[in-house]
């Protein structure tokens, strides 16, 4: 069978599949900016960023933490961040006693502070342990930010979360790609706001 540009897996089709979710993220710029300003204010008050997710998003969580702690852009300020997925001993220890649904929430109850930021990442918005951790963070008074996919799932429907950013695709690969773009934008805009100290004194 000969290949043609109209084949379902053609290059044009592959890029087209990614265009709408990225444009939707751009259309949601106000929500993204509000999340970044809230994060910058928490950092300004001495808070830290705590990131978590399962599977692929667990590596995203570690990636996000590194971006903030060790900026690749020379001259940008390092900001305190940690990933709850980086410590295998803690994750498996909590899972064996409290169950998988509590692996992140348990850690937040111990190390979370009201000044902190909780960033939960879920490809489909249906991860029970990410949702429970965001609920715990909300109850602790932390700023809550969620990156989800599809229609946002149960996480987007969770009451009281501060910021929910949805990669509007049912393809987990595309969601992953949009999430990477999203947290790079979060990092960049947090630093933009951080360089405007007059904005950071307003209560968040």
- Residues 145-176 have pLDDT tens digits of 999 999 999 999 999 999 999 999 999 999 99
- Cα–Cα distance between 24 and 35 in angstroms, integer? 16
Region 97-111 average pLDDT? 96
**Span of 27-36, 117-126, 134-143, 194-203 with lowest mean pLDDT:** 194-203
Share of the chain above pLDDT 90, in %: 77
Is residue 7 pLDDT above 80, yes or no?
A: no
What angle (nearest 5°) sits at the alpha carbon of residue 66, between those of residues 200 and 153? 75
Question: In this structure, what DSSP letter does residue 70 have?
Answer: S
What CA dihedral angle connects 194, 197, 199 and 202, to 10 degrees?
Answer: 110
Q: What is the mean pLDDT of the chain?
A: 91
The predicted pLDDT at position 20 comes to: 86
CA distance 35 to 33: 5
Of 15 and 29, the one with more pLDDT? 29
Q: What's the predicted TM-score (pTM) here?
A: 0.91
Block residue for tokens 């939960």:
120
Question: What pLDDT sits at residue 1?
Answer: 44
Closest to 53 in 3D by CA, of 123, 144, 150: 123
pLDDT on residue 59: 95
Using CA atoms, how far residue 102 sits from 92, 93, 128, in Å, is: 11, 11, 9
* Model pLDDT, residue 84: 97
């Amino acid at each position: 069978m000969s290949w043609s540009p109209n084949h379902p897996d053609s290059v044009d089709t592959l890029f087209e599949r990614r265009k709408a979710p990225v444009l939707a993220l751009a259309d949601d710029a106000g929500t993204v900016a509000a999340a970044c300003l809230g994060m910058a204010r928490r950092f300004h008050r001495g808070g830290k960023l705590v990131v978590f997710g399962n599977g692929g998003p667990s590596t995203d969580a570690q990636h996000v933490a590194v971006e903030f702690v060790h900026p690749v852009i020379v001259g940008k300020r390092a900001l305190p961040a940690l990933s709850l997925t980086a410590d295998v001993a803690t994750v498996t220890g909590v899972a064996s006693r409290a169950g998988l649904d509590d692996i992140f929430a348990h850690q937040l109850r111990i190390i979370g502070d009201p000044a902190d930021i909780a960033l939960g990442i879920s490809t489909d918005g249906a991860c029970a342990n990410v949702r429970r951790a965001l609920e715990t963070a909300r109850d602790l008074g932390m700023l809550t930010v969620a990156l989800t996919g599809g229609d946002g799932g149960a996480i987007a429907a969770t009451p009281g979360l501060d910021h929910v950013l949805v990669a509007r695709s049912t393809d987990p690969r595309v969601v992953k790609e949009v999430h990477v773009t999203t947290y790079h934008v979060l990092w960049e805009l947090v630093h933009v706001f951080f360089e405007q100290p007059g904005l950071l004194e307003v209560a968040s």
